Structure 1
Amino acid sequence: MPRRPEQLTPYAALVHWTRAARLWQGQSLAVESHQGFAHAAGTGFGVPTGLGVSLMPLRHPYEAALQARSLALATGHPVLAGFGPGRPALQRAMRGEPYASPLTAAEEYVTLVRGLLRGRTFDFHGAYYHCEGALPPSPAPEVQVGLGVLRPGMARLAGRVADAAITWLTPASYLRETVIPALREGAGAEGRPVPRVVAMVPMALPLPDHTAEAVAVAGSGPHMRAPHYADMLRRAGIDVGGDDPRENARSLIAGGAFLAGDADRLVEQIRDFWNSGVDEVVINVTGVANIGGPQAAMRQIKTIVTALSGTEETR
């Protein structure tokens, strides 16, 4: 999470000047993501952006649609706005109780946001959300709506209602064998095109004085402890239920959920995601930033992007 908006500028500049397709940011509780991207645009680096994923309990669907369109207007570029229900503890903290059905809540939320962005007028009274009205018309770059996906149920829902499925920490094999078939099933049930698949992939080049396992723990330790991520990883054949974080990280790396190695090795592993049906791979070096600092993270991103730019499959 950036502590000052100017910390985002080098990353926006990298997207602007290289073949990288989009600048992504997860939910930030420091510099809010929409505002950070708008600040970068104000410095001259308006670029396509992705929000993956914003937490539904923090923002009403109308506000979510307004903010996403406002970002597209501020940057002058398309936006992919992803949303997810978050953990039950967050739901309880914001709403007084968790969603009894996260799938129903997500369906209502994405339906409202996507519809508002497409000019629909709602008189909607759902189990979790209420919305009456429409966004005032305004020409803007395209805003697509994504849904955070880990397991088959949410993937089928994304297939029915979203423009994109956004995953995190999901191995290519699990996407190929579980998530994408469920996504196709959901889309087929509605007779609509299969949504795009965006895989946010944690990765790291070798970092002096730190093992790959240490970097994985620094970037993905909390996710390995979260029940919904642990369940997804078990479904993918990766056991992170042990007491030793380094051993869990070793399993994460062996299972292809965290990519580690030299640039050629990372390109090979990223290519596996593309070959599995993924449309967009998001380079995530949070572990490098947490353990080696932002300059080390930027060096690694530049190296990975440069290596990928030499491949025909760059997308």
Structure 2
Amino acid sequence: MPVTGEQVMPFADIVRKGDAERLWTGQSLLIEPHSALAHAAGAGARIPMGTSVALMPLRHPLQAALQARSLAALTGQPFVAGFGTGPEPFVRSLRAQGYTSPLTAVREYTTIVRDLLAGDMVGLAGEYFAMGGALPPMKTPPVEVGLGVLRPRMAELAGELADVAITWLAPPHYLAETIVPALARGAERAGRPRPRVAAVVHVSLDGPQRDHENTVLAAVQAHLQAPHYADMLGRAGIDVDLQDLRRTATRLIGTGTAAVGGADDILRAVTAYREAGADEVVLSTIGMQALEGTHASLDALGALIAAQRSVR
């Protein structure tokens, strides 16, 4: 999570130079992610961007559509507006109660955002979200609506409504065997193309005294303790041991869920995700960033870019 606008720029430059296709950011409670991306655009980063994922309770769907469209306008590039519910305690802290039906909440939210972005007049009074009206017309590059997906029912909903399905901690075999088929079922039911898949993959490049298990754990420790992530990983055959999360991190590495090792090892893991159905692989250096700082993230990404160039 950046704490200055300048901290974003070296990552944006990787995309600007053509070494990656999109700059992604997760939800932050330090610098608001859309503000950080707008700063980058104002500093000259006219590049494709995306959120993975912005949490629904923090913004009304009108504000969500407006922020996404604004970034498409400011960058002059397509934008992926990825959304997710967030953990149940977080939802409860903002709404006084959780979403009794997260699927219903996501359906309402996504429908409003999608219709507003399409320029439609919206009239929806839902169980969780309501909207009456439209955004003023404005021509911008495309905004794609993304949904964070972990389990089959949400994936089917994404197949019905989203342009992009965004995964986090989903192993390649689970992506191929569970998520992609569920997306296809939802898309077929709605009579539309299957959404693209963007898979977020946590990476840890070999380095002096770098402990891959600790690095992966630094990126995902909070997620491993959330019931919905533990359930998803259990469905994928990866048991989460709350008494020994380091052992769980070892399992994530062993199943190729996290990509660690030398640059060639990480690129092979990326290839495995692509073969499993990912159209876009998002390289997350959150663990290295948390433990060692920005220089570690940038050094690792630079090494991966160089390795990728050598095999082209």
Residue 250 of structure 1 deviates from its aligned partner by: 0.7
| Corresponding residue for residue 178 of structure 1 | 178
Runs of 4+, deviation exceeding 6 Å? none
Task: Decide which moves more: 202-211 or 162-171.
Answer: 202-211
The residue correspondences of 1:112-261 to structure 2 (distance < 5 A) are 112-261=112-261
Instruction: Give secondary structure in 2 for the equivalent of 1:237.
Output: coil
Aligned length: 312
Residue 311 of structure 1 deviates from its aligned partner by: 4.2
Task: Decide which moves more: 11-20 or 22-31.
Answer: 11-20
Retained in 1: the 8 A contact 2:72–2:141?
A: yes
Q: Deviations over 1:92-150 (max 9, x none)?
A: 11111000100000011111101100111011111111100001001111100000000
Retained in 1: the 8 A contact 2:225–2:242?
A: no
Retained in 1: the 8 A contact 2:65–2:116?
A: yes
| Corresponding residue for residue 12 of structure 1 | 12
Q: What runs of 5+ residues in structure 1 fail to find an aligned partner?
A: none
Q: What runs of 5+ residues in structure 2 fail to find an aligned partner?
A: none
TM-score for the superposition, normalised by structure 1: 0.97
The residue type paired with residue 72 of structure 1 is: A
The residue type paired with residue 50 of structure 1 is: G
Judged with a 3 Å threshold, the aligned counterparts in structure 2 of structure 1 residues 262 and 24 are, in CA distance, closer, same or farther, namely: same
Distance 2:248 2:262 in 1: 21
Residue 242 of structure 1 deviates from its aligned partner by: 4.3
Retained in 2: the 8 A contact 1:203–1:284?
A: yes
TM-score for the superposition, normalised by structure 2: 0.98
Q: Deviations over 1:169-228 (max 9, x none)?
A: 111111000000000000011111000000011111113213111111111111111111
The residue type paired with residue 153 of structure 2 is: G
What's the RMSD between the two structures over aligned residues? Answer: 1.0
Judged with a 3 Å threshold, the aligned counterparts in structure 2 of structure 1 residues 292 and 249 are, in CA distance, closer, same or farther, namely: same
The residue correspondences of 1:49-88 to structure 2 (distance < 5 A) are 49-88=49-88
Distance 2:134 2:173 in 1: 41
Instruction: Give secondary structure in 2 for the equivalent of 1:54.
Output: strand
Retained in 1: the 8 A contact 2:82–2:145?
A: yes
Distance 2:287 2:63 in 1: 32
Residue 245 of structure 1 deviates from its aligned partner by: 2.3
Q: Deviations over 1:273-312 (max 9, x none)?
A: 1111110000001001111111011110111123223445
Q: Deviations over 1:220-251 (max 9, x none)?
A: 11111111111111111111224122211111
Distance 1:59 1:276 in 2: 33
